[in-house]
Amino acid sequence: MDFVLLLAALLVILVGAELFTNALEHLGERMGISEGVTGSVFAAVGTALPETMVPVVAILAGAASGNVALGSDVGVGAILGAPLMLSTLALFLMALFAAGKRGWSGTLQPEKSGLRRDSSWFILCFALGVGTLFLPAHWSLLRLGVALVLVVCYFLYVLQTVRASAALVACGHDTEAGAPLYLQRLRLGERLPSILLQLAVGLAAIVFGAELFVRGVEHLSHWLGISALVLSMLIVPLATELPEKINSILWIRRGKDTLAFGNITGAMVFQGSLLPALGIALTDWRPSSQVIVSVTVTLMAALYLAWLIGRGQALRPRQFLIFGLLYAVFAVLTA
C-alpha cells in the first residue's frame, strides 16, 4: 500500500510540475524578465516555500508537547538536509536526465553570471550559518544578530538578481514560453489571471503530491528504524524538496538550462540563508557528528560547483557525477 501511495504521489507531482513550469514560463515572458529571475527567484521560492514550514512545525510542535529535543532534532535535520540534498542529489539527477539526451560529454549551457551569483551567495550565507553552530549558547545576542544578517543577505541577493534582469534580457536571456498555456485549452486565453490560476493549481498539486509522498516515506522510515536527526536530513528533504525539483528535470530536457539550474541554485540560496536563520532563532543550533558530516558534504559540493563555474569552460553532465557520489558518502556515513 505504501508503494502505491508513493506512485500516486509522484504522478500528482509530475502533473503539478508540468502545469507550474508552463505557467511560470508564460508569467516570466509576460513580465519581460530574465530566465535568471524566473528560475532563481520565482520558481525556487515558489517550490521551496512550502518546505520551510516543515522545520517550523516540527520545532513548534515539539515545544508544545514538551519534547523540545525531538522537535529541535527534526527541525535542524530538515534545515540542514534541504541544502545538502539540493547541492548534491538534485544537481546529480538533473545532469543524469540531461545526459539521457545529450550524452555524458554533452554541454550544459546555463547563463553563467546568474549561476555564479547564486553559488557565491549560497556559500557566504551557508558558511555563516554553519559557523554559528560553534558559538556558545549563551552568546544569544550574537547568534540572533547572525540570523538577522542571513535574512538581510537573502533580500540583497533577490535585489541583485532582479537588478541584473534588464541587462540579461537585452542579451537574449529573456524568459520564453516553450508551449501554449494549458488553460488555453479551456478557452481561458493567456491573460494574466489565467496564468496565475494555472500557477496556483500547479503549485497546489505539487504540495499535495509532496504531502502524500511524505506519508508514504514516513511509514517506510519507521520500518527502517532511523534516528530523528538522520531521518530528517535524509528523508524529509528527499520527500518534500526533491519531488518539486522535477521542474528542473523538465526544463533541462527541453534545453532551458538557465531555468533548470536556477530552480536548484536559487532554492539553495533560499534554503541556505532563511532556514539557518530559523534554526539559529528557534533551536539550540549546536554541532553533532551527523550535523558536521552534513555541513561538510554540503560545503564541499558548493565549492566544487563554484570551481566548475569559475573555470570558464563548458559544463558537462559527467562533471556532476561527483554530486551523486557526495550524497552517497553522506548517506553511508550517517546510516
At 22, which CATH number?
1.20.1420.30
Q: Mean pLDDT over residues 246-270, rounded?
A: 87
What is the distance of C-alpha 118 from the center of its chain?
A: 12
| The pLDDT value given to residue 120 | 95
Q: Which residues contact 224 (CB under 8 A, 6 or more apart)?
A: none
The yes-or-no verdict on residue 279 having pLDDT over 80 is yes
What distances in angstroms separate CA 280 from CA 39, 63, 81, 235, 247, one per listed residue? 28, 15, 15, 22, 30
**How far apart are the two ends of the chain, measured CA to CA in Å?**
25
Instruction: Please state, in angstroms and as integers, the Cα–Cα distance from residue 56 to each residue in 79, 245, 273, 277, following that order.
Output: 9, 21, 15, 11
Lookup: cell for 191:
491573460
Q: Residue 320: CB partners within 8 Å, gap ≥ 6? A: 91, 92, 94, 95, 96
Predicted confidence (pLDDT) at residue 121 exceeds the cutoff of 90: yes
Cite the DSSP H helix spans in the chain.
Answer: 2-31, 35-37, 44-65, 68-85, 91-102, 112-132, 140-163, 165-170, 192-224, 228-240, 246-253, 257-282, 289-310, 321-334
Q: State the total domains in the chain.
A: 1
pLDDT range class, residue 130, cuts 50, 70, 90: very high
CA angle 306, 174, 160 (to 5 degrees): 50
Q: What are phi and psi of 195, to 5 degrees?
A: -65, -45
Q: Over range 9-18, report the average pLDDT.
A: 72
What average pLDDT score do residues 91-104 get? 92
How far is Cα 274 from Cα 122, in angstroms, rounded to an integer? 11
Of 6-15, 42-51, 159-168, 287-296, the one with minimum mean pLDDT is 42-51
Q: Phi and psi dihedrals of 316, rounded to 5?
A: -130, 145
Model pLDDT, residue 126: 97
Domain membership of residue 244 as a residue range: 1-334
Asked whether the predicted pLDDT for residue 320 surpasses 70, the reply is yes
